[in-house]
């Protein structure tokens, strides 16, 4: 009898949970406001890709700041001076401000410091002597550090469309001036106003540095700055997502992989040093995952109310495959990021996944290409999500161009860089930032424009 009662109780509780979950799912609705112009740039026919793209927003006190990339999309330009804009009315209007404001845009730490990790450009190593491949013999010593001004035999090699060759090196094998494992960091100590330049040490096992060699012979060593948005975890540590270069050494076995790997790092000493918490290999076995891919690159994570962490991962990279879209994957950790579930496909697209949690407890996710989308978590574990709110259509937009073409390229079709960002605005809303290559100016001329829109969560 007791067993029967327990069984009935379990059934009733389970039924209640299902009803509650369905009620929660039905009660969350996402709406969006009108687009607000941050900056209008060049006409898309002047340069369809590169300038006036990749907005990156920050909240500093009661101000919102956003940087806008205005150079070519090239590893030599990641650290180039961007245009900066400020809003003091929650994204309604924007004005340009001096680029020096960047160093004020850091993450506020529990100790009151503010730290900012800027993007960094690659280093020109064209003058470095390359060790000829014919020097690679069974006796070649891969444990030796290269002499100054010399690049050793690579640990691996891959290629991009357009003729770029990419050499991968275990960082420990490079000359001393190129083998440093550190991130540039600007710190504004609590109670002060002037930023101080620091270099945080990074404990990155098998850190792999890549050198891009163009058809002209120019060699650029790619930087390793974290591309993710740092955030404070429930443990008070700094957490940030990163990804490897184009090809890396698998820390589990030291073997070369031509794909990107996704990483998460933590700092328990307020940004003085970082240690790797998570490493995720792209399993390109032709079965669970499509073989034709760039691997796991841009990613973001969020701490969920049930104590788990969700991690979303981009898998496409045009220069590897010629394809601008591929599935976005999701994985979860229930032990503080030490171990992760096998990544599963979350959606058919997913460039630059970004997450934020509002004061009301709702977690939002944005991603793109083609199209731009926002979804909200429906439960505390992040395993159920609303249907996508479509911020920008995934359909052909090329007819909106100043000079429509009959046979559009992908970026003509898409009409956006589709690298969205999202940050909280207030208790129940967020601001999404994105680009539109076909947004008209006052004369009706379509220009590459950076926009923001308010996303509101209704229950």
State yes or no: pLDDT of 19 exceeds 70: no
CA 149 → CA 58, 78, 176, 286, distances in Å?
A: 39, 24, 10, 40
Enter the tokens of residue 116. Answer: 């900012």
pLDDT classification of 321: cutoffs 50, 70, 90: confident
Longest dimension (CA), the chain: 84
How high is the pLDDT of residue 320?
85
Enter the tokens of residue 40. Answer: 């209008």
Residue 137 — φ and ψ, nearest 5°? -120, 170
Beta partners for residue 117, in sequence order:
none
pLDDT classification of 63: cutoffs 50, 70, 90: very high
Check: CB of residue 109 under 8 Å from CB of residue 116: no
State yes or no: pLDDT of 285 exceeds 90: no
How high is the pLDDT of residue 293?
74
pLDDT digits over 197-252, tens only? 999 999 999 999 999 999 999 999 999 999 999 999 999 999 999 999 999 999 99
pLDDT digits over 132-177, tens only? 989 999 999 999 999 999 999 999 999 998 899 999 999 999 999 9
Tell me if residue 444 falls in helix, strand or coil. Answer: coil
Number of C-alpha atoms within 13 angstroms, CB side, residue 115? 26
How high is the pLDDT of residue 10?
30
Residue 89 — φ and ψ, nearest 5°? -130, 40
Tell me if residue 388 falls in helix, strand or coil. Answer: coil
Structure-model confidence comparison of residues 250 and 284, the more confident one: 250
Tell me the C-alpha distance between 318 and 292, whole Å: 10
pLDDT classification of 292: cutoffs 50, 70, 90: low
Check: CB of residue 412 under 8 Å from CB of residue 403: no
pLDDT classification of 322: cutoffs 50, 70, 90: confident
DSSP string for residues in 90-108: TTS--EEE-GGGGGG-PEE
Report the alpha-carbon angle 214-217-218, nearest 5.
Answer: 70
Q: How deeply is 191 buried, as exposed, middle or buried, from its count of CB atoms within 10 A (0-12, 13-18, 19+)?
A: exposed
Enter the tokens of residue 181. Answer: 């494992």
Give the containing element (helix H, strand E) for 319.
helix 318-321
pLDDT classification of 268: cutoffs 50, 70, 90: very high
Residues contacting residue 262 through CB under 8 Å, at least 6 positions apart: 241, 242, 243, 278, 279, 280, 296, 297, 299, 311, 313
Tell me the C-alpha distance between 389 and 69, whole Å: 26
Structure-model confidence comparison of residues 23 and 113, the more confident one: 113
pLDDT classification of 359: cutoffs 50, 70, 90: very high
How high is the pLDDT of residue 238?
99
DSSP string for residues in 168-216: EEEGGGS-GGG---EEEEEEE-TT--S-EEEEEEEE-TT-EEEEEE-TT
How high is the pLDDT of residue 290?
55
pLDDT classification of 32: cutoffs 50, 70, 90: very high
CA 77 → CA 51, 57, 74, 343, distances in Å?
A: 11, 19, 5, 32
Q: How far is CA 419 from the centre of its chain?
A: 9
Number of C-alpha atoms within 13 angstroms, CB side, residue 91? 25
Report the alpha-carbon angle 174-178-181, nearest 5.
Answer: 100
Enter the tokens of residue 263. Answer: 């990483």
The single residue listed with the structure tokens 């420990």 is 172
Nearest Cα neighbor of 382 from 280, 300, 314 is 300
Q: What is the mean pLDDT of the chain?
A: 92
Domains parsed from the chain with CATH numbers = 25-458 (2.120.10.10)
Tell me if residue 160 falls in helix, strand or coil. Answer: strand
How high is the pLDDT of residue 107?
97
**Residue percentage of the chain with pLDDT more than 70:** 92
């Amino acid at each position: 009898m007791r067993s029967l009662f327990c069984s009935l109780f379990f059934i009733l509780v389970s039924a209640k949970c299902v009803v509650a979950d369905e009620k929660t799912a039905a009660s969350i609705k996402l709406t969006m406001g009108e687009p607000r112009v941050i900056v209008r740039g060049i006409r898309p026919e002047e340069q369809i890709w590169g300038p006036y793209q990749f907005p990156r927003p920050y909240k500093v006190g009661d101000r919102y700041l956003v940087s806008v990339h205005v150079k070519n999309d090239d590893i030599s330009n990641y650290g180039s001076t961007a245009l900066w804009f400020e809003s003091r009315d929650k994204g309604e209007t924007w004005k340009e401000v001096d680029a020096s404001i960047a160093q004020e845009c850091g993450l506020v730490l529990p100790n009151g410091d503010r730290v900012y990790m800027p993007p960094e450009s690659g280093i020109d190593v064209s003058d470095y002597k390359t060790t000829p491949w014919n020097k690679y013999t069974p006796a070649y010593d891969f444990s030796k550090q290269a002499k100054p001004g010399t690049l050793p035999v690579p640990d691996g090699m891959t290629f991009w469309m357009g003729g770029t060759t990419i050499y991968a090196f275990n960082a420990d094998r490079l000359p001393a001036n190129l083998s440093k494992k550190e991130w540039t960091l600007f710190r504004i100590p609590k109670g002060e106003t002037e930023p101080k330049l620091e270099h945080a040490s990074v404990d990155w096992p098998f850190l792999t540095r890549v050198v891009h060699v163009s058809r002209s012979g120019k060699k650029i060593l790619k930087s390793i700055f974290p591309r993710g948005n740092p955030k404070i975890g429930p443990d008070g540590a700094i957490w940030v997502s990163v990804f490897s270069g184009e090809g890396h050494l698998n820390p589990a076995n030291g073997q070369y992989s031509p794909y990107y790997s996704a990483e998460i790092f933590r700092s328990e000493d307020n940004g003085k040093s970082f240690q790797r918490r998570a490493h995720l290999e792209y399993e390109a076995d032709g079965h669970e995952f499509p073989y034709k891919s760039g691997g796991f690159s841009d990613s973001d994570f969020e701490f969920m109310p049930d104590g788990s962490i969700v991690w979303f991962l981009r898998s496409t990279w045009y220069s590897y495959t010629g394809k601008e879209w591929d599935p976005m994957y999701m994985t979860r950790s229930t032990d503080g990021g030490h171990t992760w579930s096998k990544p599963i496909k979350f959606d058919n697209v997913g460039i630059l996944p970004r997450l934020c949690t509002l004061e009301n407890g709702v977690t939002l996710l944005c991603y793109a290409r083609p199209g731009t989308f926002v979804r909200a978590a429906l439960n505390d574990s992040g395993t159920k999500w609303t249907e996508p709110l479509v911020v920008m259509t995934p359909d052909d937009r090329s007819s909106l161009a100043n000079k429509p073409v009959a046979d559009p390229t992908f970026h003509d079709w898409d009409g956006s860089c589709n690298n969205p960002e999202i940050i909280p605005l207030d208790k129940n809303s967020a601001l999404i930032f994105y680009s539109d290559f076909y947004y008209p100016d006052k004369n009706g001329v379509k220009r590459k424009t950076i926009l923001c829109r308010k996303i509101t969560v209704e229950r």
